[in-house]
Amino acid sequence: MPENNGRMLRVFIPLGLVVGLLFTGCNHASVVELPYQTIEGEAQGSYYRITYGDTLSRNLQPEVTAILREMDAQVSTYLDTSLISSFNRYPGLDFPVSVKSVHFLNNYLKSREIFRESNGAFDPTVMPLVSYWGFGTKPKQVQKVDSMRVDSLRQLVGLTRIMMIPKGRDSVILRKEVPGIQLDFNAIAQGYTVDRVAEMLRSKGIYNYLVDIGGEVIASGVNPRGKTWTIGINTPSESGKVDELFATVPLQNKALATSGNYRKYYEVKGVKFSHTINPHTGFPERNALLSASVFAPDAATADGLATACMVLGPEAGLALINRNENVEAYFIVGKSDGTMGVVVSKGLQHLLRQ
């Protein structure tokens, strides 16, 4: 998992979400009789902030740190010693993976699922193109686009070009169709980490919590005021402040992830290059969708689908969301007159009215 830990090389401002507790009034009668605490720190090139109610008032920061280290060891492209970095450097075709490397394999399998559902709009093998456009482990700006080079790198893109082959009881083989194929789980691993932290909390008997890692969140139960957790969605403006909110939405027993292009980009000679790369064209995607916030039962699904929607654009993105049960979306779109509009899925319309 790349851009996210004190151990990582870069720190990015989280996209899309500003997370907070809904403190309304000072009526002590509304306070849940449950000790709440917050732990926070650096994670995956960004931050983590976890608020939870625990009758035992336990400090669970060591457990969170252990999860983050496990994730980095398996799926951080910013660590040369990680499993995914070894896969990406591997010169051969058959790469062995122990079944004990559950985080790596789960990210791969979840990516395959979203790849199929999105018809390839979400594709973790886009790594060579991400690096070419300057958004990989070694940031750079493309001064002159080499279309032939882009076409050449596209031959390495396509998750169907990696096969998983069982090898006994203790390992599997990930077989590359051709050498040079690489994986990048950055668009899903952060959400997956949120899910693992939430899983740890539930294993401790904690069911009222908000887990936020770099803006990808999952909420359960109620906040310290006994109310539904409330999440703020950032205004997708390149010049907007980090805490400038476009909307606030309730979040109860669900995850929410937002993807957008309004902060991770650079400009060369008046041309903007964003970090969302379209696997089908090989070029940074620019369409009317400014940010995609996806609600789902788990954060990994929300994370991956939000990225897919940014590639697909508003209409195809909404169609993707509508094909998925228990998934909703809040899109902020740019209009021809320079203003911003909102497109939401049907289920979310009812939620927002409430």
Angle at 258 between CA 108 and CA 103, to 5 degrees: 25
In this prediction, residue 240 carries a pLDDT of 59
76 CB contacts (<8 Å, ≥6 apart)?
Answer: 1, 2, 4, 5, 7, 8, 44, 82, 84, 85
Q: What is the pLDDT of residue 144?
A: 85
Phi, psi (degrees; rounded to nearest 5) at 231 = -120, 140
| pLDDT at residue 239, as a whole number | 62
**pLDDT band per the 50, 70, 90 thresholds, residue 47:** very high
Structure tokens at 98: 């122990």
Q: How far apart are CA 65 and CA 158, in angstroms?
A: 33
pTM of the predicted structure, to 2 decimals: 0.88
Question: 79-176 belongs to which homologous superfamily?
Answer: ApbE-like superfamily (1.10.3980.10)
pLDDT band at 136 (very low <50, low <70, confident <90, very high): confident
Mean pLDDT value of segment 117-121: 97
Is the pLDDT assigned to residue 350 strictly greater than 50?
yes
Question: Other CB atoms closer than 10 Å to residue 166's CB: what's the count?
Answer: 9
183, 206, 219: which is closest to 103 by C-alpha? 183
Strand, helix or coil at 272? strand
Whether the per-residue pLDDT at 141 is higher than 90: the answer is no
What residue spans define the domains of the chain?
79-176
Confidence of residue 44 (pLDDT cuts 50, 70, 90): confident
Is residue 262 scored above 80 in pLDDT?
no
Is a pLDDT exceeding 70 seen at residue 70?
yes
Residues 56-83, mean pLDDT to the nearest whole number: 97
Report the pLDDT value the prediction gives residue 6, as an integer from 0 to 100. 33
Confidence of residue 134 (pLDDT cuts 50, 70, 90): confident
pLDDT at 26: 37
Nearest C-alpha neighbor of 18 from the set 233, 336, 228, 173: 233
In percent, the amount of the chain with pLDDT more than 70 equals 86
Question: What is the reported pLDDT for 172?
Answer: 97
Whether 296 contacts 342, CB under 8 Å: no
